[in-house]
Amino acid sequence: MPGFGIIKGLKETARNFFGSYHDPGRFVTIQYPEEKREHHENYRSFPFLVYDGDPVKGLRCVSCKICEKECPPQCIYIVPEQDGSGKLLKFPRIFDIDVSVCMGCQICVEVCPFDSIKMDQEFEVSTADRFGGLILNRSKLAKSNEYYHQIRPAEATAVDAQLAAERERQQAKAAAAKSPAPAAAATREKKP
Ligand code: SF4
Ligand code: SF4
């Protein structure tokens, strides 16, 4: 029938128009900031540093600086801790990220060999301080593994399992290095 397509289209438009007033599934506008959307697990904003237990001593970061080198806009700044003799320690004395420059690309997360840096979901970081207000330092970046589980449960669980397996491998390796190899021990026993 001529004109049927137009009527069908108008019906669909009317359904969407009125539906947007009473069907919660069709509401596209929310009353932010009073109302906030639930984020999908994969949603990301800026990076944060994961710690286990203690916010300072428990930081997983070993200050290898790989993320600093790989960050495309160069917004990570790391200075490793040193002992009294000037030897570099596996701990960042300074770890800053300028989130006004960070583009949330997640490259730092992908290159970190220690699962120390992950993407946060916190996006309300605006500040009136134009000079350094958006440079997040080590203490602002440090967040617990429990927090990581809260925002990314599946990913954090997989990382925990991977780290536990790695610890076991290292322990087994250390134990094997301490105990003499069976063949070597047998040879020693045979000697007069
Ligand atoms: S998310 Fe990307 S831009 Fe931001 S700190 Fe990491 S590597 Fe740099
Ligand atoms: S966050 Fe990871 S890659 Fe960056 S310095 Fe620390 S251990 Fe190295």
Which CATH fold would you assign to the domain 47-154?
Answer: Alpha-Beta Plaits (3.30.70)
Going by pLDDT thresholds of 50, 70 and 90, the confidence category of residue 183 is low
- Mean per-residue pLDDT, 170-189: 74
Residue 136's pLDDT is 95
Residue 56's pLDDT is 94
Q: Which atom of ligand 2 is nearest to the CA of 68?
A: 4
Q: What residues does ligand 2 touch, defined as CB less than 6 Å away?
A: 61-67, 78, 112, 114, 116-117
Going by pLDDT thresholds of 50, 70 and 90, the confidence category of residue 187 is low
Query: How far is ligand 2, taken at its centre, from the CA of residue 114, in Å?
Result: 7
Residue 16's pLDDT is 86
- Distance in angstroms (rounded) separating the CA atoms of residues 116 and 66: 11
Torsion 48-116-105-43 (CA) sign: negative
Query: How far is ligand 2, taken at its centre, from the CA of residue 90, in Å?
Result: 10
Query: How far is ligand 1, taken at its centre, from the CA of residue 121, in Å?
Result: 14
Domain-by-domain residue ranges, the chain?
47-154
What is the per-residue pLDDT across 26-83, written as a single tens digit (0 to 9) for each?
777 888 999 888 889 999 999 999 999 999 999 999 999 999 999 999 999 999 999 9
- Mean per-residue pLDDT, 112-123: 96
Nearest CA to ligand 1 atom 6: 108
Going by pLDDT thresholds of 50, 70 and 90, the confidence category of residue 21 is confident
Query: What tokens appear for 61 in the block?
Result: 């970061």
Cβ(118)–Cβ(48) below 8 Å: yes
What is the per-residue pLDDT across 23-32, written as a single tens digit (0 to 9) for each?
877 777 888 9
**What proportion of the chain, given as a percentage, has pLDDT over 90?**
72
Question: Rounded to the nearest 5°, which phi and psi values hold at 29?
Answer: -105, 135
- Distance in angstroms (rounded) separating the CA atoms of residues 50 and 59: 6
Which residue did the predictor score with more confidence, 178 or 103? 103
pLDDT-wise least confident of 32-36, 145-149, 164-168: 32-36
Q: Which ligand is nearest to the CA of 61?
A: 2
Query: How far is ligand 2, taken at its centre, from the CA of residue 95, in Å?
Result: 10
